[in-house]
Amino acid sequence: MSIYAKVEKGPAIEVFALTQAFKDDSNQNKVNLSVGAYRTDSGAPWVLPVVRKTEIKIASDESVNHEYLPVTGLESFTSAATELVLGADSIAIKENRAFGVQTISGTGALRVAAEFLHTQLNRNVVFYSNPTWENHHKIFADTGFTSLHSYRYWDQSKRQLDFKGMLADLDQAPPGAVIILHACAHNPTGIDPTQEQWKEIADLMEHKKLFPLFDSAYQGFASGDPDRDAWAVRYFVSRGFELLTCQSFAKNFGLYCERAGNLTVVQQHASTKPAVHSQLTLIIRGMYSNPPAYGARIVSTVLNTPELRQEWMDCIKLMSSRIRQMRALLRDKLVALGTPGNWDHIVNQIGMFSYTGLNENQVRYLIKEYHIYLLKTGRINMCGLNTGNIEYVAKAINASVTAGSNVSCPCDNKL
C-alpha cells in the first residue's frame, strides 16, 4: 500500500473552484462574480497602462539582473510601500519607528506577521470579523494560534455594520489578543467603520491593550484616493499604537500573480528595529528565503517616479469609479424590475465587493439556472459586472429572489 494512501482529499477552495467552474462552463451568458479581480467594461482582465509601460522599461534596462534580492526584499519597494500606507509625513517614519519587509503579496504578509506574533511575542489569540476573508482563520490556525474567535461585524437584517456587537465582542478579548482589522473596503461586506467609529474602536483597543493588525488589500478601491483609504491605519499610528500592516499590491496595481506585498512594522521606539528586523529575516529565510523581484520592481518604479505615480493614481480613480457606476446601475435595475426588498446597500457599500444578502439557495439558483458564479455567502465582485451583462445579472437576481429561495436545485455540492 502506498504511504500516501491515507491522505484524505481536502475541501475545494471555494473562490478558485468557482473560477474554474466558470472557465469550464460553455454557456455564452456566463458571468464570473467570484474572485476579487478587476475587469474592464468588456469583461477582460486589465493590465494598468502604467504597469505595462513600466514592465517594458524594466525589461529593456540592461542593468537589471536576476540576482537574489535580500531576504527582506527590495528596499526601494518596502520603503515606498510603507510610505504609501503610513503617509509621506508620517511621524513614525520620520522617527525611524516604522519599516517594511517585502512579502509574498498580502497573504504572505499575513503569514509572516502571524509567525512573528506567535513565535516572538507568544501570541495565541486572534479575533477576526464575522464575516471576513475566509483565509484569515486558516493562516492563523496553520501558524499555531490556538484561540481563534470572530467578532460581530455584519447585521444581516439591517444590512449594515453591527457596531455595538463589534465593540461588545472586542471588549471580551483578553489583553494582548491580535485583532485583525480591514484597513478599508472590508471584504466581504463592503462596509467600513466611520471615522467616529474607528476612534471608538481605538479607545477600546487601547484600554484593553489589544494588538491591531491591519489587512490592507484594497488601498485606493474604497474612495479612489489611497491617502483617504489609509485613514484608519494612520489614525491608529497617530494614537501611538504599535501595530502591523499587511499590504497587497495585487488589486490596486493589478499584479495578482506577481505576489508583491509588504509587512509594515510600527514600533514605539526606533531601538527595537534591529532585533525585530532580524527575527523577521529569519522567519522569511526559513519559509522561502527571499521574495520574487518582478512585481516589487514595478511597484517601486511607479511609486518612486512622480509622473508614473500620478498615472497610477488616475488608474485607481478609474477603477473605483467604474465600480461605483456598476453599483448604481445594479441597484437601479433591481428596483426597476420590482425586485422584492431594499437594494440601497449595494450603493452604500464600498470597494470591490457587494454583500448582496442573497442566501445560499438563491446563490445556487443563480449558478445553476443563469451560469452566474458567486460565493455562497452572496458576495459578488462588482468588477465582474459591465454594461454588457448587468441587465442579465439584474434579471437573474430578480428571478432568484422571487423564485430561487423556494426552488430546490440539484446543485453540485463541491460549490
**DSSP letter, residue 95:** T
54: contact with ligand KET by CB under 6 A:
no
| Among the listed residues 36, 87, 131, 357, the single contact to ligand KET using CB under 6 A | 36
**What distance in Å separates the CA atoms of residue 154 and residue 75, rounded to the nearest whole number?**
39
**CA-closest candidate to residue 299, choices 258, 352, 245, 244:** 258
| Closest distance of CB 256 from ligand KET, Å | 6
| Closest distance of CB 405 from ligand KET, Å | 25
215: contact with ligand KET by CB under 6 A:
yes
Any idea of the CA torsion for 328, 333, 334, 337, to the nearest 10 degrees? 160
254: Cα within 13 Å, side-chain hemisphere: 22
386 contacts 41 by C-beta, under 8 angstroms: yes
- Whether 198 sits among the annotated catalytic residues: the reply is no
Cell numbers 510600527 correspond to 266
- Judged by CB under 6 A, the stretch of 103-111, 166-174, 289-297, 315-323 that binds ligand KET is 103-111
First vs last C-alpha separation in the chain? 32
- Whether 154 sits among the annotated catalytic residues: the reply is no
Instruction: Please list, residue by residue across 33-51, b when 16 or more beta carbons sit within 10 angstroms of its beta carbon and e when fewer do.
Output: bbbbbbbeeeeeebebebb
x/- string (CB under 6 A) for ligand KET, residues 140-179?
----------------------------------------
107: contact with ligand KET by CB under 6 A:
yes
Burial of 195 (0-12, 13-18, 19+ CB in 10 A): exposed
| Among the listed residues 73, 87, 100, 106, the single contact to ligand KET using CB under 6 A | 106
220: contact with ligand KET by CB under 6 A:
no
| Closest distance of CB 35 from ligand KET, Å | 4
Spot the catalytic one: 133, 154, 312, 343. Answer: 133
250: contact with ligand KET by CB under 6 A:
yes
Strand stretches in 15-124, DSSP E: 31-32, 98-104
Q: Which is nearer to ligand KET, 217 or 330 (CB)?
A: 217
| Closest distance of CB 255 from ligand KET, Å | 9
Q: Which is nearer to ligand KET, 77 or 133 (CB)?
A: 133
Spot the catalytic one: 162, 169, 215, 229. Answer: 215
Cβ neighbours of residue 403 closer than 8 Å, sequence gap 6 or more: 365
In three-state secondary structure terms, 293 is coil
- Judged by CB under 6 A, the stretch of 99-107, 121-129, 287-295, 335-343 that binds ligand KET is 99-107
**CA-closest candidate to residue 374, choices 343, 396, 345, 342:** 396
248: contact with ligand KET by CB under 6 A:
yes
Cell numbers 479612489 correspond to 224
105: contact with ligand KET by CB under 6 A:
yes
Spot the catalytic one: 162, 251, 333, 343. Answer: 251
15: contact with ligand KET by CB under 6 A:
yes
| Closest distance of CB 5 from ligand KET, Å | 31
131: contact with ligand KET by CB under 6 A:
no
- Judged by CB under 6 A, the stretch of 102-110, 322-330, 354-362, 396-404 that binds ligand KET is 102-110
35: contact with ligand KET by CB under 6 A:
yes
Cβ neighbours of residue 142 closer than 8 Å, sequence gap 6 or more: 111
- Whether 133 sits among the annotated catalytic residues: the reply is yes
Instruction: Please list, residue by residue across 252-284, b when 16 or more beta carbons sit within 10 angstroms of its beta carbon and e when fewer do.
Output: bbbbbebbbbbbbbbbeeeeeeeebeeebeebb
Which sequence positions are flagged as catalytic? 133, 215, 251
Binding site for ligand KET (CB under 6 A): 15, 35-36, 105-107, 133, 182, 187, 215, 217, 248, 250, 261
